Structure 1
């Protein structure tokens, strides 16, 4: 958290005062901002030590010893980018800078969570039939893991990564979800709802956001327990210039028999219980606003159909591999796994 009273000094501040600030802040660095509030440098205890050894005095200004190229990241940077920068520069603290102005700092054991303008759409309109009878009177997003509804866990993790604007698509028992979440104010979120007049598939409700969203946005199913770094996925998406990016997960399976390869009537190869793996959709996507033009109003459309339309139109669709924890809570056995994972980590 950025405490300007402790972590920020002016260029004319004396080295003596900067040392006192360093002692108060505990991060071993203070940042230097000019009169317009723009970041112009950083001063560590090492910078001061080297300055004093070269003949600077304690009453000289920090301008004379500051590092004029401090380590910075933009607000949308992923945690991986932050950690790689720390290692590369041999530092413990990184400044988060937006349009030249410092908006946050990320120190040791801290995760970047600068609020993002990126909206997230949670698809929560399904009937959850594979979990019946659990979902007879309760929508699947409100099914608890321990004593915490699944959607609360998802929203908490989104908040931890800096997402604040949430749209929730609702249909089956949607009033229960709305009653539970409200407008999100108590969660430090801005929650609005996409009401499906009838089931619209995994993409159809997104048409309601046409002309409402002007930045890339995240879409994810509301029955996923995952620790994926969505900031990193956004960075990937923007880097490849795609109209859409699919979160992809490796799915492997073993054929429990010996497999025969033949040519005509002749066996040419044998494989005992071979293992196969494929990349499958993880139910997490990043879309450009223009992708919504491929949807009709109140049209039933699944996400694979939307993505196929984009590709048929010559638009690029990328695949971002997810290696973090990921559980699709679709079946009773998946719910058991999710509950065990939640009890084990509690986060």
Structure 2
């Protein structure tokens, strides 16, 4: 979510001061709010130029040159609503306002709406992170720094930016440190609660604690994944396909380091030198419906492949959603270094 305060001015500030704020805005627009914080206008460079040509001075109020009918959508708007409004008005930027007319987000060019979602997210954070030892000797893997922030901070920050508000975190190994660090999630704009594992329960076992707590679909995600995947698109796919579960999948390529011989009986039919094979692999991100949890028992071990295999055996629909965005499974020291380089490049 964008820092709204950096994009807003009051109607009585000077055009000169508004231009300073406009120069700093990556969206090339500033929004005008009244004394009660309600959106009353927007100002772009073009609005200022037109005002100056009409005789306004730099020390005049910005309210005199603002567009008093900025493009807005409500908090329940869909991406289709935003796209239709942009197309109809020939604009690049839409403000999202709440029921009182106060701005809660901005959707810029090429961005997707991030209005609050009721869909909860479960982060599986109970593992020991043994492949990152000794980094995980005294802290759980989700607290391992990636650049200037712990991995879990980056993950929950990205969830919040996409509009998610409710996060359940399964904890076991050094889980108290995660709880102390995140608390109730308020500083991230989230509502965070915890699923406590008294013993390692696998990648799905802790979900049994949610049986009476979820009434609709929810997202499950491993807490060692740094990814730019648009979870809203994954949710849209899941809803369209009416599945009991959806698995996020990625293509994984691997090279056989030898010449491969193909034969018919004892007759060689072809040779391939170090061929590259590709397979679809699970990306550690899932969307589940409440019925998917029926076979789980509290405090009973279950991994996600076992749970999904049960659903397939029951002839439940399990869909595959392809992920093409950046995706790094931070399981090994070399993966951690790759994640740090990626964060350094992107700044996110």
For this structure pair, what is the TM-score category when the shorter chain's length is used for normalisation? 0.7 to 0.9
Q: Counterparts of 1:224-243 in structure 2 under 5 Å?
A: 224-243=225-244
Please name the residue that 1:335 is paired with: 336
**Distance (whole Å) between structure 1 residues aligned to residue 126 and residue 145 of structure 2:** 17
Q: State the Cα distance separating 1:87 from its structure 2 match.
A: 7.2
Judged with a 3 Å threshold, the aligned counterparts in structure 2 of structure 1 residues 172 and 23 are, in CA distance, closer, same or farther, namely same
Q: CA RMSD, aligned part only?
A: 2.9
**Distance (whole Å) between structure 2 residues aligned to residue 73 and residue 266 of structure 1:** 69
Correspondence 1:108 to 2:108: yes
Q: State the Cα distance separating 1:291 from its structure 2 match.
A: 1.1
Q: State the Cα distance separating 1:140 from its structure 2 match.
A: 0.2
Q: State the Cα distance separating 1:91 from its structure 2 match.
A: 4.0
Please name the residue that 2:275 is paired with: 274
**Distance (whole Å) between structure 1 residues aligned to residue 284 and residue 78 of structure 2:** 22
**Distance (whole Å) between structure 2 residues aligned to residue 73 and residue 252 of structure 1:** 43
Q: State the Cα distance separating 1:21 from its structure 2 match.
A: 8.5
For structure 2, the residue ranges without an aligned partner over 5 or more in a row are: 5-30, 43-61
1:24 paired residue among 63, 66, 75: 66
The answer to whether the Cα contact below 8 Å between 2:75 and 2:115 also exists between their aligned partners in 1 is: no
Please name the residue that 1:40 is paired with: none
**Distance (whole Å) between structure 1 residues aligned to residue 255 and residue 93 of structure 2:** 46
Please name the residue that 1:312 is paired with: 313
Judged with a 3 Å threshold, the aligned counterparts in structure 2 of structure 1 residues 314 and 279 are, in CA distance, closer, same or farther, namely same
The answer to whether the Cα contact below 8 Å between 1:93 and 1:105 also exists between their aligned partners in 2 is: no
Please name the residue that 1:46 is paired with: none
Please name the residue that 2:209 is paired with: 208
**Distance (whole Å) between structure 2 residues aligned to residue 221 and residue 22 of structure 1:** 51
Q: State the Cα distance separating 1:253 from its structure 2 match.
A: 1.1
Please name the residue that 1:152 is paired with: 153
Q: State the Cα distance separating 1:29 from its structure 2 match.
A: 3.9
Please name the residue that 1:344 is paired with: 345
**Distance (whole Å) between structure 2 residues aligned to residue 326 and residue 103 of structure 1:** 32
Please name the residue that 1:195 is paired with: 196
For structure 1, the residue ranges without an aligned partner over 5 or more in a row are: 9-19, 32-71
The answer to whether the Cα contact below 8 Å between 2:226 and 2:329 also exists between their aligned partners in 1 is: yes
Match of 1:192, SS state, is strand
TM-score by length of 1: 0.76
Q: State the Cα distance separating 1:213 from its structure 2 match.
A: 0.9
**Distance (whole Å) between structure 2 residues aligned to residue 282 and residue 82 of structure 1:** 30
**Distance (whole Å) between structure 2 residues aligned to residue 215 and residue 320 of structure 1:** 19
The answer to whether the Cα contact below 8 Å between 2:120 and 2:168 also exists between their aligned partners in 1 is: yes
Q: State the Cα distance separating 1:310 from its structure 2 match.
A: 1.0
Judged with a 3 Å threshold, the aligned counterparts in structure 2 of structure 1 residues 22 and 314 are, in CA distance, closer, same or farther, namely farther
The answer to whether the Cα contact below 8 Å between 2:96 and 2:107 also exists between their aligned partners in 1 is: no
**Distance (whole Å) between structure 2 residues aligned to residue 250 and residue 325 of structure 1:** 12
Please name the residue that 2:24 is paired with: none
| CA distances 1:209-230 after superposition (whole Å, capped 9, x unpaired) | 1110112110000000100000
Match of 1:154, SS state, is helix
Q: Counterparts of 1:1-347 in structure 2 under 5 Å?
A: 4-6=38-40, 24-25=66-67, 29-30=70-71, 75=76, 77=78, 85=84, 89=88, 90-93=90-93, 106-109=106-109, 111-347=112-348
Matched positions, count: 292
| CA distances 1:194-248 after superposition (whole Å, capped 9, x unpaired) | 0001100000000101110112110000000100000010000000000000000
The answer to whether the Cα contact below 8 Å between 1:93 and 1:108 also exists between their aligned partners in 2 is: yes
Judged with a 3 Å threshold, the aligned counterparts in structure 2 of structure 1 residues 273 and 171 are, in CA distance, closer, same or farther, namely same
TM-score by length of 2: 0.76
**Distance (whole Å) between structure 2 residues aligned to residue 102 and residue 235 of structure 1:** 27
Judged with a 3 Å threshold, the aligned counterparts in structure 2 of structure 1 residues 25 and 196 are, in CA distance, closer, same or farther, namely farther
